[in-house]
C-alpha cells in the first residue's frame, strides 16, 4: 500500500489528524528526524513536523536532507507539504490557500548528489496538485489553483525592495518549499504543496509586518488545511 508523507509547520500541531499518532525518532544517513505515524481511513501516514518535536528549529537550521530522506527510507511515495507564506499580490489576501504550480528557489540549493553529476528537472507533482484542489473544492473551501512560490533566505523576512524585485515573477513568498521540492525530486518522491497566505509580504500594504501576526493567521487557516488533507486521505481508498 502507498504511504502518504505530510510535512508541515507548527500550525499543523493540534489538528485532529495528528491527535492519535505514534511518535518516533528515525535516524537517516543525514541525521535523526522526529516524526509521527498514524493510520487514517486505512491510509498509513508519516508526518514530519518541519520545526521538530519542540517546534523550535528555525528555518535556516532545518535538516532538509534528513527530512526528505526519511520519507524515502520509510517507503513513502508521495509527500504533501504545508507551508506558511506571504503574498506579493494585493489581489491575493491573507487567509487564501494556494496550491502552487511552480517555484523559484535560486539560493542555497541543496542536493543529494555531492559526488556524482546529476541534474534533475524540478517540478511539482501535477496529479497530487489536482487531488489537493479537488479535495478543497469538494469541501467548499476556496483554493487558488496556481501560483509561483518564491523561496527567500531565512530566517529574516524580506526587505520592501526585495519584494518589489520579485513581485512580478511570483505570487507567494516563503522559506521552505523550493528546497523540499527539489530534494524530493532528486529522491523520486512525488511532492506537492498547499500554502496558507498568512500575511501580505513586506511593503505590499501599508500595515507593518510582524511575525507574531503571521503565526496567528496560520493558526486560523489550520482547520481548512486539515479538511483538505482529510479529504485527500479519504479519497486514497
Under a CB-based contact definition with an 8 Å cutoff, are residues 149 and 67 in contact?
A: no
CB 229, min distance to ligand HPA, A: 19
> Cα(175)–Cα(149) distance, rounded to whole angstroms?
10
Specify the residue, 1 or 153, whose C-beta has the smaller distance to ligand HPA: 153
CA angle 212, 96, 222 (to 5 degrees): 60
The answer to whether 15 contacts ligand HPA (rule: CB under 6 A) is no
Site string for ligand HPA, 16-55 (x = CB under 6 A): ----------------------------------------
> Cα(217)–Cα(213) distance, rounded to whole angstroms?
6
Which of 21, 37, 57, 214 touches ligand HPA by CB under 6 A?
A: 214
CB 145, min distance to ligand HPA, A: 20
Count of residues of this chain found to bind ligand HPA when the rule CB under 6 A is applied = 13
Query: Footprint of ligand HPA on residues 137-196 (CB under 6 A)?
Result: 152, 157-158, 173-175
> Cα(156)–Cα(50) distance, rounded to whole angstroms?
17
In 10 A of CB 233, how many CB atoms?
20
Residue closest to ligand HPA (Cβ): 86
> Cα(158)–Cα(119) distance, rounded to whole angstroms?
29
C-alpha cell at 34: 522526529
The answer to whether 199 contacts ligand HPA (rule: CB under 6 A) is yes
In 10 A of CB 24, how many CB atoms?
13
Under a CB-based contact definition with an 8 Å cutoff, are residues 96 and 62 in contact?
A: no
CB 213, min distance to ligand HPA, A: 10
Residue with grid cell 512525488, as numbered in its chain: 190
Helix ranges (H only) for the chain are: 64-73, 126-138, 160-166, 177-187, 211-234
Query: Footprint of ligand HPA on residues 56-85 (CB under 6 A)?
Result: 84-85
Specify the residue, 84 or 193, whose C-beta has the smaller distance to ligand HPA: 84
Residues paired with residue 50 on neighbouring β-strands, in sequence order: none
Specify the residue, 28 or 87, whose C-beta has the smaller distance to ligand HPA: 87
Which of 171, 198, 224, 226 touches ligand HPA by CB under 6 A?
A: 198
CB 214, min distance to ligand HPA, A: 5
Positions in the binding site for ligand HPA (CB under 6 A): 84-86, 152, 157-158, 173-175, 198-199, 201, 214
Amino acid at each position: 500500500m502507498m504511504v502518504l508523507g505530510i510535512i508541515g509547520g507548527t500550525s499543523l500541531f493540534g489538528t485532529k489528524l495528528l491527535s492519535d499518532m505514534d511518535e518516533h525518532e528515525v535516524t537517516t544517513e543525514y541525521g535523526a528526524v522526529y516524526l509521527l505515524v498514524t493510520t487514517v481511513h486505512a491510509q498509513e501516514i508519516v508526518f514530519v513536523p518541519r520545526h521538530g518535536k519542540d517546534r523550535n528549529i528555525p528555518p535556516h537550521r532545518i535538516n532538509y536532507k534528513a527530512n526528505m530522506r526519511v520519507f524515502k527510507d520509510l517507503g513513502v511515495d508521495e509527500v504533501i507539504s504545508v507551508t506558511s507564506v506571504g503574498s506579493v499580490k494585493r489581489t491575493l489576501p491573507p487567509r487564501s490557500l494556494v496550491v502552487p504550480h511552480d517555484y523559484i528557489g535560486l539560493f542555497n540549493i541543496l542536493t543529494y548528489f555531492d559526488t556524482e553529476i546529476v541534474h534533475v528537472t524540478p517540478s511539482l507533482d501535477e496529479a497530487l496538485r489536482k487531488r489537493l484542489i479537488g479535495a478543497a473544492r469538494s469541501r467548499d473551501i476556496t483554493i487558488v489553483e496556481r501560483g509561483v512560490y518564491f523561496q527567500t533566505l531565512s530566517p529574516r523576512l524580506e526587505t520592501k525592495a526585495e519584494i518589489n524585485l520579485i513581485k512580478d515573477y511570483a505570487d507567494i513568498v516563503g522559506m521552505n518549499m523550493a528546497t523540499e521540492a527539489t530534494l524530493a525530486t532528486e529522491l523520486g518522491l512525488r511532492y506537492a504543496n498547499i500554502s496558507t497566505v498568512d500575511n501580505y509580504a513586506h511593503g505590499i500594504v501599508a500595515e507593518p509586518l510582524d511575525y507574531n501576526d503571521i503565526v496567528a493567521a496560520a493558526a486560523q487557516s489550520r482547520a481548512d488545511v486539515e479538511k483538505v488533507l482529510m479529504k485527500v486521505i479519504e479519497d486514497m481508498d
